[in-house]
Amino acid sequence: MSTYECPTCNKQITVGRDEDAPYRPFCSRRCKMVDLGRWLNGTYRISEPIKPQDLERDEAQDES
Ligand SMILES: [Zn+2]
């Protein structure tokens, strides 16, 4: 028997066997997806910065 804490909702979960906790360290599939969503959002922001070239292109269009 082991007890762990879900990182998403901080709920204490106690399971008899590791096989009984398929979403460990999360308490449920929902909490796992919430954490994954946070991670993906952070990665998206870092990998898609605004490029200076894109801003210059917008300014050029305003001149016409
Ligand atoms: Zn949870």
Where are the domains positioned within the chain?
2-63
| Nearby residues of 14 by Cβ (< 8 Å), 6 or more positions away | 1, 2, 3
CA of 47 to the centre of ligand 1 (A): 28
CA–CA dist 64, 53 (Å, integer): 18
Token reading at 20: 């009984």
Confidence (pLDDT) at 28: 94
Residue 45 Cα to ligand 1 middle (Å): 25
Phi and psi angles of residue 40, each rounded to the nearest 5 degrees, phi first:
-65, -40
Confidence of residue 7 (pLDDT cuts 50, 70, 90): very high
How far is the centre of ligand 1, averaged over its atoms, from the C-alpha of 19 (Å)?
17
Q: Contact, 23 vs 32, CB < 8 A?
A: yes
Return the CATH number of 2-63, one of 3.40.50.1220, 3.30.50.10, 1.20.1260.10, 3.40.50.2300: 3.30.50.10
pTM confidence score: 0.58
Q: What does the pLDDT read at residue 50?
A: 64
CA of 58 to the centre of ligand 1 (A): 45
pLDDT at 41: 78
Share of the chain above pLDDT 90, in %: 41
